[in-house]
Structure 1
Amino acid sequence: MLKQACAQVGLPSSGAEPIRLGENAIYRLPHQVVVRIGRSGQVTAAEKEVAVSRWLASVGVRAVEALADVDQPIVIDGSPVTFWRELPEHRHGTPPEVAAVLKRLHASSLPTDFDLPPLAPFVRLSERIDGATTLNEGDRAWLRRQLAKLTKAFVDLPAGLPRSAIHGDAWAGNVVLTADGPVLLDLERFALGPPEWDLVSTAVRLSTFGTITAKEYEAFTTAYGHDVLEWNGFEVLRDIRELRVTCYAAQRASEQPSLRGEAALRVACLRGMRGPRPWPDWKPLS
């Protein structure tokens, strides 16, 4: 598939090096080009990522750059193949650096040649709850009730910042710093929605996980000019974020037994069995 896609756009595939082979297969080509082969059926998502990349360039927000002279995605056997400029040397962004790029993004005019989909924070959660074989029935029932409660609460969110284009998964690993400034990665979840959804990603690092200090969080809010912790809808978005990462852990634990303890810990925390937040003993999933 890699050779076929490269041949269609006139790029050499010899010497391709795998970067990551997971749900999406990513390869490095000569001349600082990266190829991403998506899952079958994900053509629309790939089209959005390319369109978002080009729109962000037009409004002055730096992001991973889709090759400009390639008509993409290429579709082979139902799988989308896209081509990107490789990032130069970089590091993960600090909280204020993340805030600065989010502030610019949220202030940007919306694209006019395509529509961003509305934020959909509950995608696949029901399926993950039902399909997680390591959950006991008590935990499964609680997670279902929590999902139903938060689905209703999300519809009834109080007024907040003006709706805008949002990144959708704005954790620190998706903002990197190069010599030329911050760059947004992972454009898959771009949407139209409340800017607070992006801000909560950093707020929960303080309030839920305890992985940043109060001083680091203050630098984030100062750089952005708004503190989502003071918004009446914060707890709803926080709880949705927590539910998402817990359901993901439960799904992964069904496939990888070594993660069962982590999945059980997360459910117990949400159910109030491990004391109040923060819960610093949560571990990233490998």
Structure 2
Amino acid sequence: MGAVMGTALGAVRVVGGRLGLPVDDLAVLKDGSNLLVHLRPAAVVARVGAVTASVRGDVFGHFARADELSRFLAGRGVPVVAPVAAPVREGGWVVALAEHVPHQAERTLDSTTFAALLRELHQELAHFTGDLPARGPLDDIDAVLALLSRPADLVAERDAVAAGWPELPVQALHGDAHPHNVLFTAGGPVWNDFEDAWRGPVGWDVACAADSRLLDRAAVQRAYPAELLDHWIGVRRLLVRCWVAATDRYRAAPPSPSPSP
């Protein structure tokens, strides 16, 4: 275990212990953009900002919005992974706790069903009036470019995207609506991970689904037509390239977490 991983798990132990949760048998479920840790044997998973924290100056705000949106949707009867505790800062890390949901990780919905599920989610999200970012993926692209000292090729793509940003009706979005963010449980599909939520055109979420390797683009678009889908898929692909570059940089030289304020 690396030093950075060790300090992150230490933060989970402090936060979990403060809430009376078991912290002696932590299991890392995923070490990706965020670190996901199961506090066994409790049905609780900790999410710790990792690569996301190196890119986003306000990763706490992203976690807090995910918490707020999940609670809002649960109140409207939408199956979501339920928050256990609001995010906190601990030892330079941001930690959020949510329900551990047993699911079949290898199973996903077919393209038409996924698109219908996304449309239903949007119908509920349209009622959300809380504060959300207005530029979503463009904020992340700009943050990564600054982190990477603004490489010319990515900057040129970013400027083209920004110049062609469409004026369309907007609403609250999931922000990262791909199949891995829907958990297939014994009780049916459950939405997860609203960290990237923003207020934008529904075509963004449709593009996140349509450009997934697990779904068929044409089938998604037939089931949920969206304006300027090609544009949003282009933005999505640029965003993915930026996150890959940010992740490579983080893995090569992981930053030391700053002290908690």
In the superposition, the TM-score normalised over structure 2's length comes to 0.75
5 Å-filtered alignment, 1:135-150, equals: 140-150=151-161
Point out which structure has higher relative CO (alpha carbons under 8 A, 6+ apart).
2
Paired residue secondary structure (1:14): coil
Q: Are the structure 2 counterparts of residues 143 and 19 from structure 1 closer, same or farther at C-alpha, using a change threshold of 3 Å? A: closer
Work out whether 1:32 is the aligned partner of 2:27: no
Q: Are the structure 2 counterparts of residues 126 and 189 from structure 1 closer, same or farther at C-alpha, using a change threshold of 3 Å? A: closer
Aligned partner of 2:88 in structure 1 is 74
AA in 2 matched with 1:173: H
Q: Are the structure 2 counterparts of residues 33 and 102 from structure 1 closer, same or farther at C-alpha, using a change threshold of 3 Å? A: same
Aligned length: 232
CA RMSD of aligned residues (A): 2.9
Aligned partner of 1:220 in structure 2 is 220
Following superposition, the deviation at residue 77 of structure 1 comes to 2.8
Following superposition, the deviation at residue 256 of structure 1 comes to 7.3
Match of 1:2 among 9, 12, 20: 12
Following superposition, the deviation at residue 253 of structure 1 comes to 5.4
The separation in 2 between residues aligned to 1:127 and 1:117, in whole angstroms, is 14
Paired residue secondary structure (1:122): helix
Paired residue secondary structure (1:13): coil
Q: Which runs of 5+ in 2 are unaligned?
A: 1-10, 253-261
Identity within the alignment, %? 27
AA in 2 matched with 1:175: V
Contact 2:81 2:191 in 1 (8 A): yes
Paired residue secondary structure (1:189): coil
Match of 2:141 among 100, 104, 125: 125
Following superposition, the deviation at residue 146 of structure 1 comes to 2.3
Q: Which runs of 5+ in 1 are unaligned?
A: 206-210, 258-286
AA in 2 matched with 1:83: L
Aligned partner of 2:203 in structure 1 is 196
Paired residue secondary structure (1:182): strand
Match of 1:16 among 6, 9, 26: 26
Following superposition, the deviation at residue 2 of structure 1 comes to 2.2
Work out whether 1:173 is the aligned partner of 2:164: no
Match of 2:65 among 36, 48, 57: 48
Following superposition, the deviation at residue 61 of structure 1 comes to 2.1
Aligned partner of 1:238 in structure 2 is 233
The separation in 2 between residues aligned to 1:47 and 1:256, in whole angstroms, is 25
Following superposition, the deviation at residue 199 of structure 1 comes to 0.8
AA in 1 matched with 2:42: H
The separation in 2 between residues aligned to 1:24 and 1:202, in whole angstroms, is 21
Contact 2:136 2:197 in 1 (8 A): no
Match of 1:93 among 109, 134, 137: 109
Paired residue secondary structure (2:154): helix
The separation in 2 between residues aligned to 1:192 and 1:105, in whole angstroms, is 14
Contact 2:22 2:42 in 1 (8 A): no
Q: Are the structure 2 counterparts of residues 13 and 141 from structure 1 closer, same or farther at C-alpha, using a change threshold of 3 Å? A: closer
CA deviation profile, 1:38-94 (whole Å, cap 9, x unmatched): 356632222111111101111222222112xx4x22321342222211112222332
Contact 1:43 1:78 in 2 (8 A): no
Aligned partner of 2:259 in structure 1 is none
